[in-house]
């Protein structure tokens, strides 16, 4: 359990670092070019890269030791941030001003790849929970993992605006490099006992889509579960993209930003509640209860133009959301053979990301609204 807490802390550190680079890169691109098109393009590149890399990362996690995958993820991020730092230092000061600048379109996608490399952790961590945590406590561990991602998101959304305003890209990259080194050294020192990987299906393939689909189809209902979650994410994405315009029709920008900061605590409470009480005997039941709650809230919370109604609804919504993710993980951890879990988690990540472009755009930093807030 102690090892798990260390891994959790390490994941928190790494995801704060990577999210910070991503958010501030978007702010930076917007402030330099003043082009919403450029930031949208960046968001699009990010989304496609996440969806494609999920398959590949899943294969890597299955074929190599999970700790090594996480170490490699940090090494890649570190190299890319260092290279990006070099490009930033060498480029003339006005090299990033034009949306058509070649330097900009080498620099920004390069840094994005460093951020995306961190996503290996999102696949490796649930499989490490399978390895390290006895079955009856996995739901709680998944709740904690969700909390860790929630906390990192909250911290980053608070500090990223400050960082880019006060410090600029130079210091963001310095902070990114230093924090990645810290995460790397800390991870290196965590002793994770993993058995030798059993290559049941011969040589490691780079992107093993066939094997993944075969693994998923042998478990009745698993594919349906992933499709169901994907549709849910899509509907959730539609809904989230309308949240800002709707909220801003009720209150001022400042109040809206403040309220969202408080609401996002709901996500953390939800994760902690799972860590404390678990998901019950059947996580699928917990997942469906959570979905019914969410959609029921969604159908009534805008029925009258009231900010109080919206806030109460959204708070419950955000408390319940972590249950869905944690339940999906807990189910996969039990019904999928461990040596294939990386690919199944990777596949789920790819599907769910690809189906919710709107979610990604919203969860991604949106400079126009965030900057007007500050």
Partner 1 sequence: MTTGRGVELIGGWFGSGPDRGIALVFTITGIIGLVMTLLALRSRFYRLLSQRYLASAGHPPPAPQASPAPHMASIEAEH
What residue ranges bind partner 1 (CB under 8 A)? 130-131, 135, 195-196, 198, 200-202, 211, 214-215, 218-222, 224-225, 228, 231-232, 235, 238-239, 242, 245-246, 249-250, 281-285, 288, 291-292, 294-305, 331, 334-335, 337-339
Give the residue with the Cβ less far from partner 1, 7 or 172.
7
Handedness of CA 347, 353, 182, 78 (dihedral sign): positive
* Shortest Å, Cβ 325 to partner 1: 16
Output DSSP code: residue 220.
T
Give the nearest distance from C-beta 277 to partner 1 in angstroms. Answer: 18
Which is closer to partner 1, CB of 75 or CB of 227? 227
Match 């990577």 to its residue by tokens.
Answer: 18
What is the C-alpha separation between 229 and 355, in angstroms, rounded?
10
Least spacing, CB of residue 215 vs partner 1, in Å: 6
Q: Where are the alpha helices (DSSP H) in the chain?
A: 2-33, 36-63, 66-90, 102-117, 120-132, 138-166, 168-189, 209-217, 222-241, 243-250, 253-263, 265-277, 283-300, 307-335, 341-354, 357-363, 367-373
Is the Cβ of residue 222 or residue 360 nearer to partner 1 in the bound state? 222
Q: Which residues are CB-neighbours of 91 under 8 A, at least 6 positions away? A: 103, 107
Nearer to partner 1, 155 or 219 (CB): 219
Per the CB < 8 A criterion, the answer to whether 264 and 318 are in contact is: yes
State phi, psi for 118 to the nearest 5 degrees: -65, -20
| Nearest distance in Å: CB 290, partner 1 | 10
CB of 228 to partner 1, least distance (A): 6
Q: Which is nearer to partner 1, 38 or 133 (CB)?
A: 133
> C-beta of 286: minimal distance to partner 1 in Å?
11
Closest to partner 1 by CB, 105 vs 234, is 234
Q: What is the largest CA-CA distance in the chain?
A: 60
């Amino acid at each position: 359990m102690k090892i798990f807490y260390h891994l959790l802390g390490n994941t928190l550190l790494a995801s704060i670092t990577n999210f910070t680079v991503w958010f501030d890169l978007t702010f930076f691109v917007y402030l330099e070019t003043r082009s919403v098109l450029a930031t949208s393009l960046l968001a699009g590149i990010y989304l496609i890269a996440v969806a494609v890399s999920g398959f590949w990362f899943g294969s890597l996690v299955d074929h190599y030791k999970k700790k090594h995958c996480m170490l490699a993820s940090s090494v890649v991020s570190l190299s890319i941030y260092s290279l990006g730092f070099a490009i930033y230092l060498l480029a003339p000061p006005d090299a990033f001003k034009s949306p058509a600048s070649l330097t900009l379109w080498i620099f920004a996608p390069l840094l994005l790849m460093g951020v995306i490399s961190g996503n290996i952790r999102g696949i490796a961590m649930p499989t490490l929970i399978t390895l390290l945590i006895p079955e009856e406590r996995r739901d709680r561990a998944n709740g904690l993992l969700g909390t860790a991602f929630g906390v990192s998101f909250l911290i980053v959304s608070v500090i990223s605006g400050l960082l880019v305003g006060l410090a600029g890209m130079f210091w963001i990259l310095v902070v990114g490099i230093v924090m990645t080194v810290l995460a790397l050294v800390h991870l290196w020192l965590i002793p994770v006992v993993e058995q030798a990987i059993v290559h049941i299906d011969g040589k490691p393939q780079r992107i093993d889509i066939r094997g993944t689909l075969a693994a998923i189809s042998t478990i009745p209902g698993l594919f349906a579960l992933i499709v169901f979650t994907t549709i849910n994410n899509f509907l959730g994405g539609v809904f989230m993209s309308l949240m800002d315009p709707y909220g801003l029709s009720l209150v001022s920008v400042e109040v809206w930003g403040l309220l969202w900061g408080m609401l996002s605590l709901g996500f953390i409470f939800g994760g902690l509640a799972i860590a404390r009480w678990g998901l019950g005997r059947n996580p699928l039941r917990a997942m469906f209860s959570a979905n019914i709650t969410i959609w029921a809230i969604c159908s009534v919370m805008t029925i009258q133009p009231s900010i109080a109604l919206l806030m109460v609804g959204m708070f419950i919504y955000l408390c319940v959301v972590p249950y869905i993710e944690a339940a999906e993980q807990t189910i996969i951890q039990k019904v999928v053979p461990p040596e294939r879990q990386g690919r199944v988690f990777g596949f789920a990540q790819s599907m769910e990301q690809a189906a919710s472009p709107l979610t990604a755009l919203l969860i991604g930093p949106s400079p126009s609204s965030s900057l007007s807030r500050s």
